[in-house]
Amino acid sequence: MLVEALKAGRGLELRQLTLRDARPLFALVEANRERLSRWLPWPEANRRVLDSRAYILLSRRRAQAGLGQSFGLWWRGELVGVAGFNWVDRANRCGAIGYWLAEAAQGRGLMTAAVAALLRHGFRTLELNRIEIRAGVRNLRSRAIPERLGFRREGILRQAERLGERYVDHVVYGLLASDWKAGRKGR
């Protein structure tokens, strides 16, 4: 299901990327390439505006097919990152969230707010039962997001991802619909 936008509060909006965003999206990747490449495999292959166009088209197609959806993050009118469901498995009602943020937008709680909005969307609208986040064991900033939002640390996947010449272990965090509802009552 393709959703055009999600509100995350704090002046932050998640919007489905369109082809008009290809140029600013590519500029953001260029400006943050080295930092992003430390933890994500795709910047290496994203070398031209055309690559960002292809990513946006694929993301729209996957959203239409109900397989996942990426959103651009706009803060104070500016594109500052991307977050969304990397995949959704309808049969098992589960999905996985991924994200990245421009360096200048870090440290303000924006990604935590964006992921909280994705959780509302995932559990309420997509009716998922389980949402997971995987992060490199040493990617402490990324790990802090599921930890802040009440995910349970479920285990380690050894050498789960190849980043350049190294293999990185992942921590898997999971949140169930029942955990999420109970957490909201407690707040």
Rounded CA-CA distance 130/155 in Å is 15
Residue 36 contacts by C-beta under 8 Å, 6 or more apart in sequence?
A: 29, 43, 100
CB of 109 to ligand COA, least distance (A): 3
Q: 3-state DSSP call for residue 111?
A: helix
What distances in angstroms separate CA 141 from CA 54, 90, 106, 154, one per listed residue? 28, 29, 10, 18
Residues 76-135 that bind ligand COA (CB under 6 A): 99-101, 106-112, 135
Of the residues 57, 93, 139, 157, which one makes contact with ligand COA according to CB under 6 A: 139
Q: Closer to ligand COA at the Cβ: 112 or 177?
A: 112
- Residue count, binding to ligand COA (CB under 6 A): 20
Residues 21-80 that bind ligand COA (CB under 6 A): 35-36, 39-40
Rounded CA-CA distance 108/75 in Å is 11
Applying CB under 6 A, the residues found at the interface with ligand COA are 35-36, 39-40, 99-101, 106-112, 135, 139, 141-142, 144-145
